[in-house]
Structure 1
Amino acid sequence: MSPSDPAPAPMRPVSFIRSFADISNRYDLILCDVWGVLHDGLKAFSAAGEALTRFRENGGRVVLVSNAPRPGWLVVRQLDQYGVPKSAYDDVRTSGDLCRDLVAQNGTRMFHHIGPERDLGLFRSLEARSTALEEAEYVVCTGLFDDEAETAEDYAGTLAAMRARDLVMICANPDLVVERGHKLIACAGAIAAAYEEIGGLTITPGKPHRPIYEAALDLGGNLLGRPLDRARALGIGDAIRTDIAGGHGAGIDTLLVARGIHAADLGASHEGIDEDFALRWAAGQAVRPTYVIHDLTWRRDAP
């Protein structure tokens, strides 16, 4: 950590909250994950949209921080399709935005793209063009070609060929998995991890790494119109490895949404959660959240 970097957030005992309204007045800015918190890849979570909307109505600002391998404007279009209200957020910063910047910095150098056609919007209007692996000067991975049927193991041959040429991989989505409906789907981060295991070099600007947090926090300060006090910023997400570790490294408090990719670990179901069990699990992690909540809800009725 350089002298200019913020100190990581303190590792305080984990608290369980039932309603976001219970802590909302402690914060001016929320950096909120998207997939797993606002939607499940098929439909929006209406209570989460309402909670963020209420926070903004009370004067707070919300920046959505996503590891989506697409520019923010495409993520907004997707959120509209899922039914996430625009009243829930002020702006969006994605891993795809930062990845796009990296590709732009490489000018006309040719790259090989690993990922589905739906991610091609990432490269729109850039000078660089994709090419066959044999001709590429580096690789951009946005995901699996068929994330319903493939796993990272299916890319062993490609990764070996990349390693033989010492090609750098830019990973546009550091997530290992996301939840689509009730199914866990592998992401680009799983391929990047497999490449690192055989000695390959990866560049990953998204969560939990510093670049995306600095971009989002700078944007949040601009939205507030004043210097941001990081003690009054909160990161919300459903993944320890990305959302909680990333927020901790950026020096802000974090809220772990239990009904996400860690639902089984935390003992969470769509009906409820064992709060004591969830707290014990969260407290046992190498990086702990400040709070745990079952799902992002503004006000939950007492049982």
Structure 2
Amino acid sequence: MSAPASSELRAETLFPVGVAALAKRYDGFLLDQWGVLHDGTTAYPGAVDCLERLRAADKTIIILSNSGRRGRENEAVLAGMGFGRELYHHIVSAGDDAHEALLRRDEPAYRDLGERCLLIARPGEEYLADGLGFSLTADPDQADFILNLTFDPERQPLPGWRPLLERGAARGIPMICGNPDRHRVHASGRLHEAPGLLALAYEELGGQVHYHGKPYPRIYRSCFGIMGLPPEKVLAVGDSLAHDVAGAANAGIGACFIAGGIHKDELVWPDGDAPEAESCFALFARDDQHPRYCIPRFAW
């Protein structure tokens, strides 16, 4: 079968004004956090209202996040920005997904990991490995594997991790990555580095990485189990082509791309309110990701 012509690909992406048009077709929504609901500090205008309207329409809502933190912590973060617990049904995070896999140890990659864990986490977040039964070590020569969940790029810049990554890769120990995002939006307007960049660097050094979160299938299976809806009734909403849109395609569900998130500066905004369609098509073609819908921001 020949590849679709560019005009056919363009016809696949629709540009509704907002979420209201999508609520008529879908019963379940998988919503990203950063770049969709908030910038890490403040809720985006219209986001809380949009969730309220979706809940009033009896839609099933899961916050599907690549955060390395567990769901309860993400609940607290969202509550601090005005997203009450009544606005969604569940939070499913990449950190939760990794935690579950490490606890169960029933998948080939996890059966023989060993017990000595080198944890990559922000200062003060060592508790993220609690309850897993591992002993923590900061020495890559003593570790059986690396668990990569969070890091602070300003206090822990990527180059500072390189000696540790080099030693781990030389020894052939695997990395478990509980946040595959390489960048995330920030209140400053700049993109901040994220744990996925450490995982990429490890792979480039020859290290083996087992990923959790979007776009990998395990986390979507968890969401489908919770929602109990057929795939054609579920829509993923996110701002990352590599994670949200690609993950939705892998899971066999539709995707709505939020243009005003992580890719905002790669698009043309003639009047500041909506992106130019041609610039969206060029971005989609470049990454070979073609969402079903594209809207400027998560608003009704």
Taking only the aligned residue pairs, the percentage that are identical comes to 28
Deviation at 1:159, TM superposition (A): 1.2
Confirm or deny that 1:184 pairs with 2:191: yes
Deviation at 1:59, TM superposition (A): 1.6
Deviation at 1:230, TM superposition (A): 0.6
Deviations 1:159-183 (A, max 9, x none): 1100111010001100000011112
Give yes or no for contact 2:119–2:146 (8 Å, CA) kept in 1.
yes
Equivalences for 1:264-275 in 2 at 5 Å? 264-268=265-269, 271-275=272-276
Q: Distance in 1 between matches of 2:162 and 2:214?
A: 25
Q: Which amino acid aligns with 2:265?
A: A
Q: Which amino acid aligns with 2:291?
A: P
- Counterpart of 1:252 in structure 2 is 253
Q: Distance in 1 between matches of 2:280 and 2:190?
A: 24
Aligned alpha-carbon RMSD (Å):
2.1
Q: Distance in 1 between matches of 2:43 and 2:159?
A: 31
Deviation at 1:271, TM superposition (A): 3.7
Give yes or no for contact 1:103–1:128 (8 Å, CA) kept in 2.
no
Deviation at 1:186, TM superposition (A): 0.6
Deviations 1:105-136 (A, max 9, x none): 36971100112135334222331121132211
Deviations 1:266-288 (A, max 9, x none): 22499422332343234423111
Count of equivalent residues = 282
Structure 2: which 5+ runs fail to align? 1-7
Confirm or deny that 1:137 pairs with 2:144: yes
Question: What is the SS of the residue equivalent to 2:141?
Answer: helix
Q: Which amino acid aligns with 2:125?
A: D
Equivalences for 1:48-127 in 2 at 5 Å? 48-104=47-103, 105=105, 109-127=115-133
Q: Distance in 2 between matches of 1:295 and 1:118?
A: 33
Q: Relative to structure 1, is the Cα distance of residues 121 and 192 closer, same or farther in structure 2, using a 3 angstrom cutoff?
A: same
Q: Distance in 2 between matches of 1:194 and 1:200?
A: 9
Q: Which amino acid aligns with 2:176?
A: I
Give yes or no for contact 2:114–2:145 (8 Å, CA) kept in 1.
no
Q: Which amino acid aligns with 1:249?
A: N
Q: Relative to structure 1, is the Cα distance of residues 245 and 147 closer, same or farther in structure 2, using a 3 angstrom cutoff?
A: same
Deviation at 1:49, TM superposition (A): 2.1
Give yes or no for contact 1:13–1:290 (8 Å, CA) kept in 2.
yes
Give yes or no for contact 1:45–1:84 (8 Å, CA) kept in 2.
no
Equivalences for 1:87-236 in 2 at 5 Å? 87-104=86-103, 105=105, 109-132=115-138, 133-144=140-151, 146-148=152-154, 150-181=156-187, 182-221=189-228, 228-236=229-237
Task: Give me the TM-score of the superposition, normalised by structure 2.
Answer: 0.88
Structure 1: which 5+ runs fail to align? 1-9, 222-227, 299-303
Deviation at 1:63, TM superposition (A): 0.5
Deviation at 1:220, TM superposition (A): 1.2
Give yes or no for contact 2:266–2:283 (8 Å, CA) kept in 1.
no
Q: Relative to structure 1, is the Cα distance of residues 141 and 147 closer, same or farther in structure 2, using a 3 angstrom cutoff?
A: same
Confirm or deny that 1:280 pairs with 2:287: no
